[in-house]
């Protein structure tokens, strides 16, 4: 696939960057360490393709491509097709230690330095790389609801 979306923002309070990087078939959001663009936390944001079956996923992961989701863990909201950079924005929590990815005015993923893994609406259950969406944690961090 062609190169995809790459957007970033900087938080003056925490001195951290957030980056959305669309690679091949998927997109990942990163939160940086202080004063650098080096990622310290991430969250799977979405896929540009439909989720694949488990055997196809295993073959893909052996090739070490950008991560993708298989049908056993992908949610109904996992795929976003034909997105544009202007469809996305970021929402910083007070203090800049947490950040959410907003797609067309709806949060779809977030990262908090307080949590081991990021959270995403793209997954339906906990995985070794990302948690499913948690509305309670989102509301506490950002003082808003996603609904």
* pLDDT tens, position by position, 31-45: 999 999 999 999 999
- Check pLDDT > 80 for residue 1: no
pLDDT confidence bin for 147, thresholds 50/70/90 = low
User: Which residue ranges make up each domain of the chain?
Assistant: 6-142
* pLDDT tens, position by position, 43-91: 999 999 899 888 888 888 878 777 888 889 999 999 999 899 999 999 9
Task: State pTM to two decimals.
Answer: 0.91
Q: Which residues of 96-130 are buried (b: 16+ CB within 10 A; e: fewer)?
A: bbbbbbbbeeebbbbbbbebebbbbbbbbeebeeb
Lowest-confidence pick of 10-19, 54-63, 78-87, 128-137: 54-63
Q: CA angle, corner 101, sides to 58 and 94, nearest 5? A: 130
Radius of gyration of the chain measured on its C-alpha atoms: 15
How far from 2 is each of 16, 25, 41, CA to CA, in Å? 28, 10, 25
pLDDT confidence bin for 114, thresholds 50/70/90 = very high
């Amino acid at each position: 696939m062609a190169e995809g979306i790459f957007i970033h923002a900087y938080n003056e309070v925490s001195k951290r960057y957030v980056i959305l990087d669309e690679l091949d078939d998927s997109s990942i959001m990163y939160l940086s360490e202080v004063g650098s663009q080096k990622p310290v936390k991430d969250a799977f944001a979405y896929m540009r393709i439909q989720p694949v079956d488990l055997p196809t996923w295993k073959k893909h992961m052996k090739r070490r491509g950008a991560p993708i989701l298989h049908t056993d863990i992908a949610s109904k909201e996992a795929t976003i097709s034909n997105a544009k950079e202007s469809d996305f924005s970021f929402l910083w929590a007070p203090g800049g230690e947490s950040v959410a990815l907003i797609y067309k005015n709806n949060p779809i993923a977030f990262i908090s330095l307080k949590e081991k893994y990021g959270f995403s609406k793209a997954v339906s259950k906990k995985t070794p790389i990302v948690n499913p969406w948690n509305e309670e944690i989102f509301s506490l961090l950002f003082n808003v609801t996603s609904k």
